[in-house]
Amino acid sequence: MDRRILITGGRIADGLGGEPRSGDVLVVGERIAAVAPPGRLGAAGASLLDATGLVVAPGFIDVHSHADNAPLLPADDVGKILQGVTTEVVGNCGFSLAPAADEHRRALDEHLAQLFPPVKVRAARSGKDAAAWRDFGEFLRVCDAAGHVTNYCPLVGHGTLRIAAFGVADRPASVAELRLMVRLLDEALEAGAFGLSSGLIYPPGRYAGADELARLAARLGPRRIYATHMRSEGLGLADAIDEALTIGDRAGCRVQISHLKAMGRPAWGAVVPALRALDAARARGCAVGHDAYPYTASSTLLTTLLPPELLTGSHTEILDRLRRPDAAALLADAIGHGRPGWDNRIGSTGWQSVRIASSASGRFDGLTLAEVAATLEAPPAEALRRVLVTERLRVTAVTFGMSEDDVAAVLAHPSTMIGSDGAPPGVSGKPHPRGHGAFPRMLGRYVRDRRLVPLGPALRR
């Protein structure tokens, strides 16, 4: 017989935006069997759970997660379920763990190692040196066999897709390569992928133009999602939103703007016209959503601080470029003077605003780049170059670059969903707290303390 649990004394939120109301909930097995006013449900045979003073709410959706690897970890990842999250959308920012091609396995390993901790799974049928999976369907079967803590909504990463088709070349896809990417995407969608994601500040996704992205997104249809980490979140924010909307219009698919923000002091205030542009798009019939996390600090790969002339080609080519005698001088010049179309994060925030979150050795974890420079007794640009070379590009950083007013403006918007954008589970170091704290912070700081959003609408989002 299924276990019966009667939750009494709490205020029930239905997730539709209304204010919570008093009531009882009966759970039978793994399903909600009944919801009724207080005292109306029989307690015979049920375990009682007293929720007096609490709110009983549906599970939250983390619409922007990087917990692709969670099913593959040796122990359950409970960081999200403890926040009330029961569903995670993974495969964001162009990074997914499948598909994989043996001929480009090294490039994929190097690409994923910048973000994910080592993934250890069974060897493939073709031998111990081959990928543990090739196609997206096999990857999902491996995850399902391992088991999930939360519901799992996977996207296909455009960067991963590109690597599987032709590696990390800094050029547009050929006709044949695009045809292969389309085939791999179709296979992933058929296997159960919910859509496509792009990360247009990361190699190799940043090498793709809007035409390539629109051709791929056209395979999604009107119900699946194209989620994008846009090409700019700084002074180029408006143009980046235009590109995302254009891709959606051309493809006829839904668009999700990932972690909407204005990064760097010169761009502060840009979220207000950005929100207006998204509202105008919705008014004319575009199916576009957006998400955000409730912090003024972001976190991403340290390589994103490099200018375009250094951040191109393969992992090995980038490292070779950073080892050149003139690399530090070139980096200092780019940060000091900027480059057209490049989000110069250090130039817009400062060396003291970037803090190392995790690295291969752990030596610099928790230090700002200014502190790293002092430790190494080197100019800041040289210190940044040394860290990237010695850690073989496997470094992430937290950047304090957003204004509280901008964050509040985005969170207050009725269409904003909450996405943690946290580091993948299993990452070491001192990662951004959003992975374990985004949802409590939204409800505590912005709903309860600041009253920015009423509780009912906040729970809906």
Structural domain containing residue 70: 60-296+402-460
pLDDT at 122: 42
pLDDT at 131: 52
CA distance linking residue 310 with residue 201, whole number of Å: 13
Whether residue 349 sits in one domain with residue 385: yes
Q: What CATH number has the domain bearing residue 138?
A: 3.20.20.140
CA distance linking residue 262 with residue 278, whole number of Å: 15
| 328, two tokens | 């530090």
Give me the helices (H) in 204-344, please: 210-217, 237-251, 271-283, 315-322, 327-337
CA distance linking residue 381 with residue 331, whole number of Å: 6
Residues 6+ apart with CB under 8 A from 252: 218, 221, 222
**Pick from 81, 89, 83: which is nearest to 62 by CA?**
89
Task: State residue 300 phi and psi, 5-degree precision.
Answer: -165, -170
| Whole-prediction pTM | 0.94
**Pick from 245, 162, 238, 236: which is nearest to 202 by CA?**
162
Whether residue 372 sits in one domain with residue 234: no
Q: What CATH number has the domain bearing residue 40?
A: 2.30.40.10
The CA–CA distances, whole Å, from 120 to 54, 141, 296 equal: 41, 15, 34
Whether residue 263 sits in one domain with residue 184: yes
Residues 6+ apart with CB under 8 A from 31: none
Residues 6+ apart with CB under 8 A from 332: 379, 380, 381
**Pick from 332, 323, 309: which is nearest to 386 by CA?**
323
Whether residue 209 sits in one domain with residue 263: yes
The CA–CA distances, whole Å, from 219 to 181, 185, 371 equal: 11, 8, 47
Give me the helices (H) in 252-314, please: 271-283
pLDDT at 2: 86
Whether residue 252 sits in one domain with residue 317: no
Whether residue 292 sits in one domain with residue 243: yes
The terminus-to-terminus CA distance of the chain in angstroms comes to 35
- Cβ 186 vs Cβ 216: under 8 Å: no
Q: Is 260 helix (H, G, I), strand (E, B) or coil?
A: coil
CA distance linking residue 70 with residue 77, whole number of Å: 6
- Final residue of a structural domain among 400, 430, 450: 400
In this structure, are strands 24-28 and 4-8 parallel, antiparallel, or unpaired? antiparallel
**For 350-421, where are the E strands, in sequence order?**
354-359, 395-400, 416-418
What does the pLDDT profile of the chain (461 residues) look like in tens digits? 689 999 999 999 999 999 999 999 999 998 999 999 999 998 788 899 999 999 999 999 999 999 999 999 988 999 999 999 999 999 999 999 999 999 999 999 999 999 999 876 543 444 444 457 999 999 999 999 989 999 999 999 999 999 999 999 999 999 999 999 999 999 999 999 999 999 999 999 999 999 999 999 999 999 999 999 999 999 999 999 999 999 999 999 999 999 999 999 999 999 999 999 999 999 999 999 999 999 999 999 999 999 999 999 999 999 999 999 999 999 999 999 999 999 999 999 999 999 999 999 999 999 999 999 999 999 999 999 999 999 999 999 999 999 999 999 999 999 999 999 999 999 999 999 999 999 999 999 999 999 999 999 999 99
Whether residue 222 sits in one domain with residue 200: yes
- Cβ 114 vs Cβ 36: under 8 Å: no
Q: Is 147 left (phi over 0), alpha (psi -120 to 50) or beta?
A: left
pLDDT at 155: 99
Whether residue 286 sits in one domain with residue 311: no
The CA–CA distances, whole Å, from 111 to 115, 184, 204, 246, 268 equal: 8, 18, 9, 28, 31
Residues 6+ apart with CB under 8 A from 135: 98, 99, 184, 187, 188, 191
Whether residue 429 sits in one domain with residue 317: no
Whether residue 11 sits in one domain with residue 87: no
**Pick from 175, 157, 178, 73: which is nearest to 108 by CA?**
157
- Final residue of a structural domain among 400, 417, 433: 400
pLDDT at 411: 99
Report how many domains make up the chain: 3
Tokens 């920015």 — which residue?
Answer: 452
- Final residue of a structural domain among 367, 400, 433: 400
Whether residue 333 sits in one domain with residue 200: no
Whether residue 84 sits in one domain with residue 73: yes
CA distance linking residue 121 with residue 142, whole number of Å: 8
